[in-house]
Structure 1
């Protein structure tokens, strides 16, 4: 079943699954400093637009603990400094800026507090709300999207948009997880997704954990399985969606979209509203 990518507790701090080790090693690692979190996002230990946003929100809390501000003013300044730093880690994921913007607003709303305690509590509450919201939205995507998959369908996906790319359930893969839970029988064709092989290393692993029938294919095999009538729909995630619906995702997604159009196959993008660039 879907995995819990991010763990937070006030006592133990922030832990993530190190996705650079999958599928050979499944390991949670603790991120103990702001630098650890920046490096984890930059080096794709944590990846996927929603997951990056959630991780960054918790990262602000880790950074504040590290800085140890003594006053409300110092805490507000620390929030903005941490957010500025984390924003440089992965500029392509709009969820990163969305989550950091929410943390900044909470800090600014409490700048006139008498003591830092209320501000710190509000910041932790906001980070936890961002995480909970992501989980709820991913479940909703699964509920709405599952109706697209029917018994006997072939579903093609590119890159990884499962639980590993979010805080829990995924976006594109949420559609497949929910359809499977409802008893639908279908096959997923997962592009390997060069050069970092997120499809081969992560998507196939997640689907196998959920006992969903998955076939790993080379990126340049997508056209062939479409031509042979093995694919009835394509579902992918997104790194960023413009206000007009234009979508940016992992390299190769555009080619899959062109192939789907050429073969008359529906192409769906599954993403939460936090991925829209407003």
Structure 2
């Protein structure tokens, strides 16, 4: 049974319980967010991370934010709700699911504007839980669709973490691996450590070990060598935002892995729900890239590893061009040779 990454406890006056992913793998600890500032902090500091999980956290964060709204009529409530959603939108800029989750909550509020404030609040809580439950189904279907691409005996390389910790249930990229194992396929996974915050080492390796999947942890710089030795038959990664043409933003280092895969003739797959597509962005050139604190590199995990005063460039994501992606695995199906035309053909009007 997958670990419950994020859960809502109680009624509309309740709270969020989530796994503090910054402490894994040495400590499994649940933290509780009871107001909007605490969930904003949890998203910003990566206590909760992964595009689908961020979308769920944002939706539940809206419910936390409306707890203190004392408006007596719907019009006033909607105005104050906008302050809540605007604040949550500043937590992280790259993962489109954050904005997608917030937009869904705003839409539900508007659709219920003829009801009482209490009824609107209840509708928003129900929508947040619906988003979470939908993600559980979506993850399973991504696993089903992606497992068809995995052959018995395959070696698979993955970068960062796109498992149950990044979603409500089963993961995206790792869902493919979990399903392949359930089907009786023997696979061997190579997990990049994923500098500078080691999500591959701390989270992906932890999830795969607990799932009983054969996993070998490697430094990011070892990926080319492992591929050259013929140990990798495909690469599977997640995504934080996918542009209309198939260009994909994912954890920093993913672009380099795609180049290595292309050089070695290895299929490169992206696994993501349709909510991660942003059809308003034509190409990856327009995807905003979050830059994080220099201390994540110079003082990683509490130890100084760089000279005082050195300049640091710390983008959290990079963009893999569609030409480097063999296929995108979604809950609606697999998009081979990603392009604006192929994406629109599969997705149609499913994105809202």
Q: TM-score, normalised by structure 1?
A: 0.97
**How far is the alpha carbon of 1:267 from its aligned partner?**
0.4
RMSD: 1.2
| Deviation readout 1:94-152 (Å, 9 max, x if unpaired) | 00001100111111122232x21221221112111111111111110001111222221
3-state SS of paired residue (2:221): helix
Deviation at residue 4 of structure 1 after TM alignment: 1.3
1:205 equivalent to 2:206? Answer yes
Map 1:143-158 → 2, pairs under 5 A: 143-158=144-159
Residues 40-84 of structure 1 deviation map (CA, whole Å, 9 limit, x = unaligned) = 000000000110000110111111113344432332223211111
Q: Do residues 104 (structure 1) and 102 (structure 2) align?
A: no
Aligned to 2:304: none
SS where residue 68 of structure 2 aligns? helix
Q: Deviations over 1:196-230 (max 9, x none)?
A: 10000000000011111100000010001100000
> What SS is found at the alignment partner of 1:67?
coil
Query: Helix, strand or coil: the match of 1:21?
Result: coil
Structure 2 CA distance, aligned partners of 1:183 and 1:69?
A: 56
2:244 corresponds to = 243
C-alpha distance in 1 between matches for 2:259 and 2:193: 18
Per the alignment, in what secondary structure is the counterpart of residue 249 of structure 1? strand
Is the contact between residue 2 and residue 206 of structure 1 (CA under 8 Å) also seen in structure 2?
no
How many residue pairs get matched?
277
The equivalences for 1:1-278 within 5 A come to: 1-11=1-11, 12-113=14-115, 115-278=116-279
Q: Secondary structure at the match of 1:95?
A: helix
In structure 2, stretches of 5+ residues that fail to align are: 280-352
Supply the distance in 2 between the matched residues of 1:188 and 1:219 (Cα, whole angstroms): 14
Contact 1:17 1:45 in 2 (8 A): yes
CA distance in 2, matches of 1:71, 1:111: 9
| C-alpha separation in 2, matches of 1:176 and 1:4 | 19
Distance 2:231 2:182 in 1: 22
Deviation at 1:270, TM superposition (A): 0.1
SS in structure 2 at match of 1:2: coil
SS in 1 for 2:236: strand
Aligned-partner Cα distance in 1 for 2:130–2:80: 20
Contact 1:34–1:66 (8 Å) recurs in 2: no
Deviation by residue 1:223-259 (Cα, 9 ceiling, x = unmatched): 0110000000000000100011000100100000000
Tell which has more relative contact order, 1 or 2 (C-alpha 8 A, sep 6+): 1
Taking the aligned partners of 1:96 and 1:180, their CA distance within structure 2 comes to 31
